[in-house]
Chains A and B, each alone.
Chain A
Amino acid sequence: MSDQTAQAYEQLIHAAELARDREQIVDVDEETEQLVVFKLADQLFAMPGRYVRELIPTGDIVHVPGTSPLFLGVIPVRGDIVSVLDLARLLGMPPSTIAAARTRSGRILMVAREEMNTGMLVDAVTDIIDAPGSAIQPQLSTLDPQLARLADGQLLFNGQPTPILNVASLFQTLQEACA
């Protein structure tokens, strides 16, 4: 190998190393959004953490007869009574039951936005993450239309496309359903 070729080769390797390093640089100033990642019928979903006040075990949900089938019932939470929404049913998935809700991993997300609040039943909370803005992508155009109306972008979580639910749309749909 001539000196010139060796030099060009060195330059190429150096450029490749620089490019690799650039890929690993994390923008620490990038804004992040806290997301609660959870499972419903083996499917992953996320919800902005700023609307999730707390996560509580399912406990004893008391069915209130004669109410919308979207609601499984009510639970007492620190001296107050809170409704529990069947989130799976609202998303067009097979409905949950109170019996199925009593699993060890089942959780109720206490969700609040402006004047509205309700508990939402999920099968399990998988993670709570701080997702950089660049990790949130537009949702797939092939997403189920009922779900697409209630989602607002998607997150790649462990390589799995995870719809991010839009809490305002969820409450609006609930209001329409209960009107």
Chain B
Amino acid sequence: MTPAAPGQPLAILVFRIMTTRLGIDARQIARTTRLPAPPATAGTGLHYFHERVPFAMAVETYQAPAILYPATGLGVTGGLIVDQLEQLQTLDSRSIRRLPRWLNPPHRPHPCWGIAMQDDGLILLMDLAKVLCPGPSLSQ
């Protein structure tokens, strides 16, 4: 995922897993569906976010789950289950910083391509294609 040109606005769909705020470039998302309860995933092609990008602490359950479906042409299929979906936010690309080098070794690129610095905290910007790409999750 490449950041927008400096000064260019970037539409980001923001969600939370526990207290961490994460975002995905809206151009990578075809549609979203909000759900009343956490769904079963076996054989559905759906993946919970924390199963693809593990958290250091245990993620018990999702309070307000939603599914993000990837845009066609992204090269991945299926759906990503996230939690506490917020509204679309427009970010100034100048507020986006890179992940520090220790957290992003070159041989194992992290799906977080940048961190947006907002007045109310940081948003980790994730590449939906890398999160959903087939194969083992980041922890394996």
A contact residues vs B (CB 8 Å cutoff):
60, 62-69, 71, 74, 76, 79-83, 85, 118, 174, 178-179
Other-chain residue from B105, B111, B124 in contact with A178 (beta carbon distance below 8 A): B105
Q: Separation in Å of the A117 CB from the closest CB of chain B?
A: 9
Query: Which residue of B has the minimal Cβ distance to A63?
Result: B20
Q: Which residues of A contact B102 (CB under 8 A)?
A: 68, 71, 83, 85, 118, 174, 178
Interface of A is mostly: mixed
B contact residues vs A (CB 8 Å cutoff):
17, 20-21, 50, 53-57, 97-100, 102-103, 105, 107, 110-112, 115, 117, 121-122, 124, 138-139
Q: Which residues of A contact B138 (CB under 8 A)?
A: 66
Q: Are A66 and B97 in contact (CB under 8 A)?
A: no
Query: Which residue of A has the minimal Cβ distance to B52?
Result: A66
Query: Which residue of B has the minimal Cβ distance to A86?
Result: B56
Q: Are A79 and B117 in contact (CB under 8 A)?
A: yes
Q: Which residues of B contact A63 (CB under 8 A)?
A: 20, 55-57
4 more A-B residue pairs beyond the given contacts A74-B99, A76-B122, A81-B117, with a C-beta to C-beta distance below 8 A = A62-B121, A174-B102, A178-B105, A179-B105
Q: Separation in Å of the A68 CB from the closest CB of chain B?
A: 7
Q: Separation in Å of the B110 CB from the closest CB of chain A?
A: 6
Q: Are A68 and B121 in contact (CB under 8 A)?
A: no
4 nearest CB pairs, A to B: A83-B100, A66-B138, A66-B53, A81-B97
Q: Which residues of B contact A74 (CB under 8 A)?
A: 99-100, 103, 115, 122
Q: Are A62 and B100 in contact (CB under 8 A)?
A: no
Q: Separation in Å of the B93 CB from the closest CB of chain A?
A: 15
Q: Which residues of B contact A68 (CB under 8 A)?
A: 102-103
Known: A64-B124, A81-B117, A178-B105. A69 touches B100 (CB 8 A): no
Q: Separation in Å of the A99 CB from the closest CB of chain B?
A: 9
- Please measure, in the bound complex, the distance between the C-alpha atom of A83 and the C-alpha atom of B100, giving whole angstroms: 6
Q: Which residues of B contact A62 (CB under 8 A)?
A: 20-21, 115, 121-122, 124
Q: Are A81 and B100 in contact (CB under 8 A)?
A: yes
Q: Separation in Å of the B23 CB from the closest CB of chain A?
A: 13
Q: Which residues of A contact B115 (CB under 8 A)?
A: 62, 74, 81
Other-chain residue from B54, B98, B117 in contact with A65 (beta carbon distance below 8 A): B54
Query: Which residue of A has the minimal Cβ distance to B118?
Result: A76
Q: Are A76 and B56 in contact (CB under 8 A)?
A: no
Q: Which of A65, A66, A80, A85 has the most CB of B within 10 A?
A: A65
Q: Are B53 and A81 in contact (CB under 8 A)?
A: no
- Please measure, in the bound complex, the distance between the C-alpha atom of A16 and the C-alpha atom of B111, giving whole angstroms: 73
Query: Which residue of A has the minimal Cβ distance to B117?
Result: A76
Q: Which residues of A contact B50 (CB under 8 A)?
A: 65
Query: Which residue of B has the minimal Cβ distance to A60?
Result: B121
Q: Are B124 and A81 in contact (CB under 8 A)?
A: no
